[in-house]
Copies of this chain bind each other. A is one copy, B any other.
């Protein structure tokens, strides 16, 4: 027995398949990549051989030769927010159907960390990148442009239309929440928002509420806007502090559902009746929003659609197709039990 055979248990390469089928390398390659280009007879010989040998194409070699990794990158702020978990999952699901694989990373709202993640993805040769929001380091754009990697901004629409984006107007959506509350008769507002630094969605939501109120001669003073880091328990604490501060308000607008849930829990713990004494709104419409008691009035986002459509736009662009620069996703207010006229 030859030595070279002794340790040759490594997985089969395309050349092995070709030899086993009695054809050349290129024919084997074609038969597997685009079966139509090969005669049925030889094609099946090759496919049989591939199956028999358990041939698995070597992604790196393929990527090197074809200049395509069939890999897409997704960078989200955090997977701890169910909306990003769900959209990421939908994204992965959709691209998997086309043979693409998803590389993911989360940066916890740190722009520097995001640059590092993206640069790692660029190195891996991803064919496209899906990002969240509009706020990104200029360094990140340089990287992407230089590497000529297509990218999609999601969860917001780029008003400047410079970049490809897919989302909705966080500002208008938030304004519609405020509008709803004003129509119920509320005039004293408070707000709990996520951190607004490097988070355009959070900023726009606050701005939207402010604008809507201003249009009716109302205002939202800074002391009634709490900016907190992510998390239900953090939201409880923050809301508690707001209450303790002595501020008076009948409507509490929250930047997302998790924050609203925290507020609802704290309100319940303190015996504050929602919506009788206080109206509370969320944003996102996570599953729990509709099940909770009181059910949460919120903005419904088609979360899975965002991931799916991002995938489809990305795939189209990678395939050389054209897509509209900006894709608007319909969102709408869902009025439930957490809002009512002020007591």
Q: Specify the chain B residue showing the minimal Cβ separation from A76.
A: B89
Measured between alpha carbons, how far is A93 from B113 in the docked complex, in Å?
10
Measured between alpha carbons, how far is A270 from B105 in the docked complex, in Å?
42
Measured between alpha carbons, how far is A124 from B82 in the docked complex, in Å?
28
Residues in B whose Cβ lies below 8 Å from that of A96 = 105, 116-117, 120
Measured CB to CB, the closest approach of chain B to A313, in angstroms, equals: 20
User: In the complex where A231-B287, A293-B265 touch, is A105 in contact with B85 (Cβ < 8 A)?
Assistant: no
Measured between alpha carbons, how far is A75 from B105 in the docked complex, in Å?
15
Residues in B whose Cβ lies below 8 Å from that of A236 = 291
Measured CB to CB, the closest approach of chain B to A264, in angstroms, equals: 10
Binary B-proximity of A93-126 (CB < 8 A = 1, otherwise 0): 1001001011111100000000011011111110
Q: Specify the chain B residue showing the minimal Cβ separation from A93.
A: B106
Give this chain's copy count. 2
Q: Is the CB of B79 within 8 A of A89?
A: yes
**In chain A between 282 and 300, which residues have their CB closer than 8 angstroms to a CB of chain B?**
287-288, 290-293
Q: Does A60 contact B (CB under 8 A)?
A: yes
Measured between alpha carbons, how far is A79 from B58 in the docked complex, in Å?
28
Residues of A in contact (CB 8 Å), total: 57
Q: Does A216 contact B (CB under 8 A)?
A: no
User: In the complex where A56-B119, A117-B96 touch, is A124 in contact with B291 (Cβ < 8 A)?
Assistant: no
Q: Is the CB of B79 within 8 A of A69?
A: no
Q: Which of A11, A99, A290 has the most CB of B within 10 A?
A: A11
Q: Does A80 contact B (CB under 8 A)?
A: yes
Question: Which listed residue, B71, B80, B123, touches A82 by the CB 8 Å rule?
Answer: B80
Q: Does A218 contact B (CB under 8 A)?
A: no
Q: Specify the chain B residue showing the minimal Cβ separation from A100.
A: B120
Q: Does A78 contact B (CB under 8 A)?
A: yes
20 example contacts (A-B, Cβ-Cβ < 8 A) are as follows A11-B146, A59-B69, A59-B123, A59-B125, A61-B64, A64-B64, A79-B79, A82-B82, A88-B104, A96-B116, A101-B120, A102-B105, A103-B103, A103-B104, A233-B291, A262-B291, A265-B291, A265-B292, A265-B293, A269-B293
A residues adjacent to B (C-beta < 8 A): 11, 54, 56-61, 63-64, 69, 71, 78-80, 82, 85-86, 88-89, 92-93, 96, 99, 101-106, 116-117, 119-125, 143, 146-147, 231-233, 236, 261-262, 265, 268-269, 287-288, 290-293
